[in-house]
Amino acid sequence: MATAGLLAAVVAATLGGVAASAGGPRPPATQDQSLRGLAARNGLAFGTAVDAAAYADAADPQYRSMVDGQFSTVTAENAMKWESLEPTRGTYDWAAADAFVAAAERNHQQVRGHVLAWYSQLPGWLSTGIQDGTIDGPQLRALLKRHITDVVSRYRGRIWQWDVVNEAVSDPWETPSAIHLGGDTGSLKQKFADLLGPDYLADAFRWARAADPKALLFYNDYNIEAFGDGGPGDKTRFVYDLVRGLRARGVPIDGVGSQGHLSTQYGNYDVLAVADALQRFTDLGLAVAFTEVDARSLLKNASDPALDAAGADLNARDQAAAYNYHVLLQACLMNPHCLSFTVWGFTDKHSWIPGWFKSPPEGAGCLWDANYQPKKALRTVQGDLAAAGPPLVRPRAPQKPRR
Ligand code: XIL
């Protein structure tokens, strides 16, 4: 039923507004087709994170209609995080998450569940307890088990992919600089990892599997788009070894999510390097997905801080952002085990970037601008999807949950 509904929606989205002509029906111009319709030609799901407040805002109907019409998979930007679900210890608030999942089902969208085991956006009672030592290792482990079991059970059978473990691994700019489980010495990220101990990843996947045998279970992280030098600072290599070890031990992990938060100030990856990284993960028997793609830019002109994004560099930034989307999307299309391509917000009107990257100010990372006007990145993505097909781009290979 769900598949039939999805197909009907996709066909409607692809052929909507077709006028009969002598040569038979002609599809609308590529730029007038939905992303979900274009991506469906290769079985790819195209998604967005959903901002619950914007979705519910009657004064901004375009946000909601674009979520519903453009995308075939959705991720709650915040509504399924621990701080949202259990703001008071022992008392769940399911309202926003329930509404989100129900809306996705109405729109024939597959849901990416985000997120279960993560050190960030924990409820205050929990992060305080971790920081001040009133919650110890065994207690945290028991709380995490209950959390995963309760949340996954509630949505059993309705979640396509769960981000079971998120951002468990340090960055090369943290201390110590060799990549490790955790983060900076003394940080909440490190305390979370230390209290739980290294086996918590395996446990988290097992608890999730026990609560939902059908969901695909993912490890999700950023800055793992391509391999580095293979040395102690190579985060992608560390994550690769981590997930390979989990699979070798029989842990029920089905996929790796590469967040894909890119910035034009850092230069670009290239398609083949990203495709190579995806292939190394999929050679382990895992699925992959891009889960949180955006491509932000500095909003100030470096040589003249008084100039904002309307300055002389805007065109260059616009093109660099489009190229960043292109690189990730092409790499994904080329791998039949790359199941979905999700953007972390689709309009600069509702994007986490300006609120998060403030100094220096960054923004302009989405496919549509703040007035819902298409940007070069959107046209690039539409073109890439329209041009993709066999033999290089093959239909997606269905991934079944393992174990
Ligand atoms: C971000 C949200 O977009 C913001 O609204 C929130 O304030 C902070 O979190 N990696 C993740 C996401 O896995 O959950 C984060 O989302 C962005 C980085």
Ligand 1 center to 163 CA (angstroms): 13
- The residue written with tokens 């039939």 in the block is 4
The two three-digit tokens of residue 77, written as one number:
């930007």
Q: How confident is the model at residue 55, as a pLDDT? A: 98
The predicted model scores a pTM of 0.93
**pLDDT over threshold 70, residue 290:** yes
**Segment 262-266 mean pLDDT:** 94
Ligand 1 center to 49 CA (angstroms): 10
- Average predicted confidence (pLDDT) for the chain: 93
Residues pairing with 255 in the sheet: 218, 287
pLDDT in tens, 127-155: 999 999 999 999 999 999 999 999 999 99
pLDDT in tens, 22-81: 678 888 999 999 999 999 999 999 999 999 999 999 999 999 999 999 999 999 999 999
Ligand 1 center to 271 CA (angstroms): 26
pLDDT in tens, 221-252: 999 999 999 999 999 999 999 999 999 999 99
**pLDDT over threshold 90, residue 4:** no
Catalytic one among 77, 86, 174, 292? 292
**pLDDT over threshold 70, residue 15:** no
pLDDT band for position 6 (cuts 50, 70, 90):
very low
**pLDDT over threshold 50, residue 3:** no
Q: How confident is the model at residue 312, as a pLDDT? A: 54
Q: How confident is the model at residue 16, as a pLDDT? A: 37
Classified as helix, coil or strand, 165 is strand
pLDDT in tens, 66-111: 999 999 999 999 999 999 999 999 999 999 999 999 999 999 999 9
State if residue 234 touches ligand 1 by the CB under 6 angstroms criterion: no
**Segment 283-310 mean pLDDT:** 82
Indicate if 362 belongs to the active site: no
Between the alpha carbon of residue 218 and those of residues 3, 203, 339, 366, 400, the distances in Å are 22, 13, 12, 24, 13
Q: Which of 2-11, 163-172, 210-219 has the least mean pLDDT? A: 2-11
pLDDT band for position 403 (cuts 50, 70, 90):
confident
Looking at per-residue pLDDT, the higher value among 372 and 315 belongs to: 372
Ligand 1 center to 326 CA (angstroms): 22
For the CA of 344, the closest atom of ligand 1 is 3
Q: How confident is the model at residue 311, as a pLDDT? A: 54
For the CA of 163, the closest atom of ligand 1 is 13
- Give me the percent of the chain exceeding a pLDDT of 70: 91
Q: How confident is the model at residue 130, as a pLDDT? A: 98
Looking at per-residue pLDDT, the higher value among 315 and 110 belongs to: 110
State if residue 351 touches ligand 1 by the CB under 6 angstroms criterion: no
**Segment 254-262 mean pLDDT:** 98
Q: How confident is the model at residue 27, as a pLDDT? A: 81
CA-based nearest residue to 129, from 192, 83, 81 = 192
**pLDDT over threshold 60, residue 308:** no
**pLDDT over threshold 50, residue 7:** no
> φ and ψ at 128, to 5 degrees?
-60, -45
Q: How confident is the model at residue 258, as a pLDDT? A: 98
State if residue 110 touches ligand 1 by the CB under 6 angstroms criterion: no
Indicate if 292 belongs to the active site: yes
**Segment 186-194 mean pLDDT:** 98
**pLDDT over threshold 90, residue 316:** no
Residues 240, 245, 246, 247, CA torsion sign: positive
pLDDT in tens, 340-398: 999 999 999 999 999 999 988 899 999 999 999 999 999 999 999 999 999 999 999 99
Q: How confident is the model at residue 239, as a pLDDT? A: 99
Catalytic one among 167, 174, 225, 362? 167
Looking at per-residue pLDDT, the higher value among 396 and 9 belongs to: 396
Question: In terms of DSSP bridges, do strands 110-117 and 45-50 run parallel, antiparallel, or are they unpaired?
Answer: unpaired
**Segment 327-341 mean pLDDT:** 98
State if residue 109 touches ligand 1 by the CB under 6 angstroms criterion: no
Q: Identify whether the C-beta of residue 114 lies closer than 8 Å to the C-beta of residue 179.
A: no
For the CA of 49, the closest atom of ligand 1 is 3
- Closest C-alpha to ligand 1, atom 12: 77
Classified as helix, coil or strand, 50 is strand
For 312-387, list the strands marked E by DSSP: 338-343, 362-363
For the CA of 220, the closest atom of ligand 1 is 13
What distance in Å separates the CA atoms of residue 14 and residue 36, rounded to the nearest whole number?
A: 8
